[in-house]
Amino acid sequence: VLIDPERLWSSIMEMAEVGGIPGGGCRRLSLSPEDGAGRDLFSRWCREAGCTVEVDCFGNMFAIRRGRAQPDRLVMTGSHLDTQPVGGRFDGIYGVMAGLEVMRTLNDLDLETACSVAVVNWTNEEGARFSAAQTGSKGFVGQVSLEQAYQLRGVDGVSFGEALDGIGYAGNRGPRPEQLVCYVEAHIEQGPVLEAARKTLGIVESAQAARWYQVDVNGETRHAGTTPAKRRRDAYMAAAAFAVQSRRHLLDMDPGIRFTIGRVELGTNAPNTVPGQASFTIDLRFPGDQVLDRAETVLRDVLSGIDRQEGTRSQLQTTHVVPMVGFDAALTTEIETLAGSNAMRLSSGAMHDACAIAAVAPTAMIFVPSRDGVSHHQDEWLEPRDAASGADLLFRVVEKKANPVL
């Protein structure tokens, strides 16, 4: 490998100490003092690597290594340094540190590039403090306005704008989207697919489409002791039958569909009462909007059937729709070729800053394995050798894209 695996790893570990929590995790909520300290450290490392650091009005940080021939054209990489309240050491951080390692390696090899290279730290990717995820990257591409962002209110009551001022990261400089040659983000998978396939590198073709639904089931609240089975309209039994039947039908349709009932609430929720009301959420994801259209039809059909069978009346409402994001096909193929046999194509289950940037520039992502698929948890883990493989691929991609064949 061309990059320095130990330098990369020690930077990740040093960053993890900023806002470190017991068990090896991190708590660097966006624009908190800990985030400020993490940003200061990143900024210092970038300047030490000879980069100029620009901060825009969303607090996005761009460390720029100036290109020789086309300095206004940028090959950009990066991710985010903010974490979940009980987060891991790699989610987001890996992509920023891998980008920094690319810079350092370019320096080690004394390589000049034709275009400039930038490493970005996007603000508030997690949406854990300010409940709108990917604020910085969406702001960069114009999907979120400055006014919308500044008015976001944190769970602690502080606004995004106040918090940005508070840590001194409200800037007024930074590149424009038109300058991007491409954007390539490295990230941990946060899922078990690479590990299960024994692959080190994931070439991310797309980010799944996602739909959220709220289902409300109405039955009859009754005495558990006195109401015979055939006289019940049990909202929870209807909800449970819906879960079982829907999963079977959806996985028959396509085993790749991700179907989750993550929140369940019963109206009375008392042991000796037949539930008259049950409400639950559905999180449905697949890399393809048409399959989700068909999946939604299945869900509605199953629900109607259950209403007939159980004597309930149910409503299914769509609460959130995220269309699929397809990454740049040519760029993805280029990366795949550079990656070699240790890579596989896959779709991202989670949303990333790259999903926003894909709207304005050729964009791709590189995944590295998450042990046991764990993320958003202090047990999140990335093997050092896999961290090195991903950063090395990123180096080769960035170096190639920043030196276009003319």
Stretch that binds a second copy, among 65-73, 161-169, 252-260, 329-337 (CB under 8 A): 252-260
Q: Are 201 and 339 in contact (CB under 8 A)?
A: yes
Q: What is the spatial distance between Cα 53 and Cα 173, in angstroms, rounded to a whole number?
A: 9
Q: Are 259 and 282 in contact (CB under 8 A)?
A: yes
CB 147 to a second copy: min, Å: 27
Stretch that binds a second copy, among 21-29, 110-118, 147-155, 272-280 (CB under 8 A): 272-280
Task: Please report whether residue 240 would count as binding a second copy according to CB under 8 A.
Answer: yes
* Partners of residue 190 on adjacent β-strands: none
13, 21, 37, 261: residue in contact with a second copy (rule CB under 8 A): 261
* Partners of residue 320 on adjacent β-strands: 212
165, 179, 212, 345: residue in contact with a second copy (rule CB under 8 A): 212
CB 325 to a second copy: min, Å: 13
Residue whose CB is less far from a second copy, 69 or 86 = 86
Q: What is the spatial distance between Cα 304 and Cα 318, in angstroms, rounded to a whole number?
A: 16
| Positions 281 through 340 that interact with a second copy (CB under 8 A) | 281, 283, 285
Structure tokens at 296: 């939604």
Task: Please report whether residue 266 would count as binding a second copy according to CB under 8 A.
Answer: yes
Total residues in contact with a second copy, by rule CB under 8 A: 62
Task: Say how far residue 38 (Cα) sits from the centre of its chain.
Answer: 20
Task: Please report whether residue 89 would count as binding a second copy according to CB under 8 A.
Answer: no
Stretch that binds a second copy, among 25-33, 152-160, 175-183, 271-279 (CB under 8 A): 271-279
Q: What is the spatial distance between Cα 389 and Cα 397, in angstroms, rounded to a whole number?
A: 12
Written as one letter, the residue type at 186 is: A
Residue whose CB is less far from a second copy, 127 or 404 = 127
172, 198, 272, 317: residue in contact with a second copy (rule CB under 8 A): 272
Stretch that binds a second copy, among 11-19, 161-169, 251-259, 392-400 (CB under 8 A): 251-259
Determine which helix (DSSP H) or strand (DSSP E) holds 151, and give its type and residue range: helix 146-151
135, 348, 363, 389: residue in contact with a second copy (rule CB under 8 A): 348
* Partners of residue 366 on adjacent β-strands: 186, 203
| 338 CB-near residues (< 8 Å, 6+ apart) | 393, 396, 397, 400
Stretch that binds a second copy, among 73-81, 155-163, 178-186, 349-357 (CB under 8 A): 349-357
Q: What is the spatial distance between Cα 339 and Cα 397, in angstroms, rounded to a whole number?
A: 9
Task: Please report whether residue 191 would count as binding a second copy according to CB under 8 A.
Answer: yes
Report the relative pairing of strands 363-368 and 180-188 from DSSP bridges: parallel
Torsion of CA 8, 9, 11, 14, to 10 degrees: 180
Stretch that binds a second copy, among 40-48, 97-105, 198-206, 225-233 (CB under 8 A): 225-233
7, 66, 258, 294: residue in contact with a second copy (rule CB under 8 A): 258
Residue whose CB is less far from a second copy, 108 or 265 = 265
Which three-class secondary structure state does DSSP give residue 405? coil
Stretch that binds a second copy, among 40-48, 108-116, 162-170, 373-381 (CB under 8 A): 373-381
Task: Please report whether residue 148 would count as binding a second copy according to CB under 8 A.
Answer: no
Task: Please report whether residue 263 would count as binding a second copy according to CB under 8 A.
Answer: yes
DSSP 97-140: HHHHHHHHHHHHTT---SEEEEEEE-S-SS-SSBSSSSHHHHHH
10, 145, 269, 297: residue in contact with a second copy (rule CB under 8 A): 269
21, 193, 253, 316: residue in contact with a second copy (rule CB under 8 A): 193
Task: Please report whether residue 189 would count as binding a second copy according to CB under 8 A.
Answer: yes
Q: What is the spatial distance between Cα 47 and Cα 63, in angstroms, rounded to a whole number?
A: 8
| 114 CB-near residues (< 8 Å, 6+ apart) | 67, 68, 69, 70, 73, 402, 403, 404
Q: What is the spatial distance between Cα 83 and Cα 28, in angstroms, rounded to a whole number?
A: 5
Task: Please report whether residue 141 would count as binding a second copy according to CB under 8 A.
Answer: no
List contacts with a second copy (CB under 8 A). Answer: 189-193, 196, 208, 210, 212, 221-231, 234, 236-237, 239-241, 243-244, 247, 251, 255-266, 268-275, 281, 283, 285, 348-351, 373-377
